[in-house]
Structure 1
Amino acid sequence: MQGTVYKSTGSWYRVKSTEGTFYDCRIKGRFRIEGIKSTNPVAVGDEVRFNLIEDGDVTVGQIYEIMDRRNYLVRKSVKLSKQLHIIASNVDLVFLLVTLENPRTYPEFIDRFLATSEAYRVDCVLLFNKVDAMDQHLKDETKYMAALYRDIGYTCIGISATTGKNVDQVIELMTGKTCMFVGHSGIGKSTLINRIAPDLELKTAQISEQHKQGQHTTTFAEMYDLPSGARIIDTPGIKGFGLVDMEKDEIGDYFPELFALKSQCRFNNCLHLDEPGCAVKEALETGTVALSRYRSYVQMISGEQDVYRTGLKEDV
């Protein structure tokens, strides 16, 4: 049988068959360790092949093969730094939720996520949430950040998951696509998904006033079908985002504005650090390249803060 993984709890997987029936599945005994370097060899969004077996009085599935992935998003495992954690696979569009307060999303986190999305060929849209609760200073800062990323080529939308402001634009982008919503805990993912698909009734929680950090409402990845033909992948909040399988000389390729200037550098192997005739450094001087983006790039090149952390408690 063949199907799509809709839910992963680490040991059990909820798989929807091509006929539309859901099965609780496990992976075949040795499958976990054969040639797979991730902490979760099977991820939500995976197309898999499985057999049905009897487990006492219950019929369960046994996954024995993962079909080729079109793309996937990964981050470093929290407990096993040399391994990766696949967040989801076969994603058409990922929405990164951003807030500048309660909790704050820092540019370094955004840039690492965007670079990873570029590396793994997943289109990304930035959603600046909680615009209804911003004072004028935060509104101005949000407009500046959104303009910065729009200039690079990313779609940016200011939304309010609470009031529904501009959520219709998000729904329009989702039509017929498998979409993922990611961001820190407490940033409003579940509230937004409930606004888009209220029948799902995902759990939500308030921000901790003492520590200004998100409380945990999603503990595992899960995918949902919508009447529009879209599918939503809800994920646990992400505290840190590390680089996986990126060489120093390719990181710049995942910054679109740096990649566009690469051919203008004097040396074709320019890392845009101290090399003479560097077009990126010249663009930095003229303001064509944003300083915050360049700082993120240098940080990634140098390996500093290999997993950029915000002080938020980890969900996964």
Structure 2
Amino acid sequence: MIGTVYKSTGSWYTVKNDSGTFFECRIKGKFRIQGIKSTNPIAVGDIVEFDVEKLGDDTVGIIHEIKDRKNYIIRKSVNLSKQTHIIAANLDQVFLLITLNNPTTYTIFIDRFLATAEAYEVPVVLLFNKIDAYDDEELGEIKFLAALYREVGYTCIGISAKTGKNVDKVKELMTETTSMFAGHSGAGKSTLVNALEPNLKLKTAEISEQHLQGQHTTTFAEMYDMDFSGRIIDTPGIKGFGIVDMEKEEIGDYFPEFFALKGDCKFNNCLHIDEPKCAVKEALENEEVAWSRYKSYVQMVSGEDENYRVDIHDTKK
């Protein structure tokens, strides 16, 4: 049988076949995907081939083949820095939830996520959540940041998962697609899923007052069928986003505004850092390229730890 992976716990996989029946499946023997050293050989969204076997009174699926992926989102494993973790596969789009505070989404996190999505050909929509909770000054910062990313070419929407503001716009984009929600814990992913599909009743939690961080409410990535003919993958909160398998010479190609200027640089292999007659640096000085994006790029090229952050409040400098 052929089916789609809806949930992965690391050892068991919930798979839905073409007729809509769910099976609890395991991997047969040693199962590895060629060319990918991942902590999870199979991810939510994968198309797999499996057989059904009787195990006592239970029916168990045995996965023996994974079909080629059209794309996937991958990051460095949290606990094993030399290994990677595939968050989800075969995506039509990813919605990255961004919050100004409670918790703060730093631009380095946004830019690392966007560069990875560009590298693996996954379209991204930026959702600036909790706009009901901001004062006029904070709303101004959100509008500035959204304008920055719209200029690069990304779709940006200000939403409130809590009040339902612009949730209809998100639903329209999700119709007839497989989408993923990503962002920090507490950014409102599960709240947004519940606003889109109240019957799911996903667990949500309040922000920790002591640390101003979200509480992890989603333990494993899981896909849900929506009543409006869309599918959403809800993911655990991501604290950091380590980039994977990018040579420093190619990182600039995953910043669309840098790639558009690359042909005007004096050197074909220009890194846009110390080289003379660099079109990107000239655009930067002319304020045609955002300083926050350039800082993120330099950090990624130099391999600096993500903990060196550019704050959202720093984007105008």
The alignment's TM-score, normalised by the length of structure 1, stands at 0.96
Give the 5 Å matches for 1:36-47: 36-47=36-47
Query: Which deviates more from structure 2 when the two are superposed, residues 71-80 or residues 33-42?
Result: 33-42
Gaps of 5+ in 1: 311-316
Q: Report the 3-state secondary structure (helix = DSSP H, G, I; strand = E; otherwise coil) of the residue aligned with 1:242.
A: coil
Q: Distance in 2 between matches of 1:139 and 1:303?
A: 33
| Residue deviations 1:140-192 (CA, integer Å, cap 9, x gap) | 11011000000000000000000000111101111100000000001111110
Task: Show the counterpart of 1:13.
Answer: 13
Task: Show the counterpart of 2:158.
Answer: 158
Contact 1:186/1:213 (<8 A) preserved:
yes
Q: Distance in 1 between matches of 2:285 and 2:214?
A: 38
Q: Distance in 1 between matches of 2:308 and 2:213?
A: 16
Contact 2:75/2:244 (<8 A) preserved:
yes
Cα distance change of structure 1 residues 228 and 82 upon mapping to structure 2, 3 Å threshold = same
The residue identity in structure 2 corresponding to 1:22 is F
Q: Distance in 1 between matches of 2:151 and 2:79?
A: 37
Task: Show the counterpart of 1:67.
Answer: 67
Q: Distance in 2 between matches of 1:230 and 1:54?
A: 33
Task: Show the counterpart of 2:314.
Answer: none
The residue identity in structure 2 corresponding to 1:30 is K
Cα distance change of structure 1 residues 33 and 293 upon mapping to structure 2, 3 Å threshold = closer
1:34 shift after superposition: 7.2
Contact 1:132/1:160 (<8 A) preserved:
yes
Contact 2:108/2:306 (<8 A) preserved:
no
Contact 1:243/1:306 (<8 A) preserved:
no
Q: Report the 3-state secondary structure (helix = DSSP H, G, I; strand = E; otherwise coil) of the residue aligned with 1:248.
A: coil
Contact 2:106/2:309 (<8 A) preserved:
no
1:57 shift after superposition: 1.8
Q: Report the 3-state secondary structure (helix = DSSP H, G, I; strand = E; otherwise coil) of the residue aligned with 2:78.
A: coil
Task: Show the counterpart of 2:81.
Answer: 81
The residue identity in structure 1 corresponding to 2:148 is L
Task: Show the counterpart of 1:255.
Answer: 255
Cα distance change of structure 1 residues 204 and 286 upon mapping to structure 2, 3 Å threshold = same
Task: Show the counterpart of 1:314.
Answer: none
Q: Distance in 1 between matches of 2:34 and 2:198?
A: 41
1:85 shift after superposition: 0.2
Cα distance change of structure 1 residues 35 and 298 upon mapping to structure 2, 3 Å threshold = closer
Task: Show the counterpart of 2:230.
Answer: 230
Task: Show the counterpart of 2:315.
Answer: none
Contact 1:52/1:60 (<8 A) preserved:
yes
| Residue deviations 1:168-226 (CA, integer Å, cap 9, x gap) | 11011111000000000011111100000111110000000011000111000100111
Q: Distance in 2 between matches of 1:307 and 1:254?
A: 21
Task: Show the counterpart of 1:109.
Answer: 109
The residue identity in structure 2 corresponding to 1:267 is F
Give the 5 Å matches for 1:293-312: 293-305=293-305
Contact 2:108/2:309 (<8 A) preserved:
no
The alignment's TM-score, normalised by the length of structure 2, stands at 0.95
Gaps of 5+ in 2: 311-317
Cα distance change of structure 1 residues 116 and 34 upon mapping to structure 2, 3 Å threshold = closer
The residue identity in structure 2 corresponding to 1:101 is N
Contact 2:38/2:85 (<8 A) preserved:
yes
Task: Show the counterpart of 2:24.
Answer: 24
Task: Show the counterpart of 2:189.
Answer: 189
| Residue deviations 1:272-308 (CA, integer Å, cap 9, x gap) | 0010010000000000000000000000000001577
Q: Distance in 1 between matches of 2:157 and 2:35?
A: 40
Q: Report the 3-state secondary structure (helix = DSSP H, G, I; strand = E; otherwise coil) of the residue aligned with 2:172.
A: helix
1:227 shift after superposition: 2.1
User: What fraction of aligned residue pairs are identical, expressed as a percent?
Assistant: 71
Q: Distance in 2 between matches of 1:152 and 1:309?
A: 20
Give the 5 Å matches for 1:135-150: 135-150=135-150
Task: Show the counterpart of 1:313.
Answer: none
1:261 shift after superposition: 0.2
Q: Report the 3-state secondary structure (helix = DSSP H, G, I; strand = E; otherwise coil) of the residue aligned with 1:30.
A: coil
Any runs of at least 4 consecutive aligned residues in structure 1 with deviations exceeding 2 A, and if so which? 32-36, 306-310
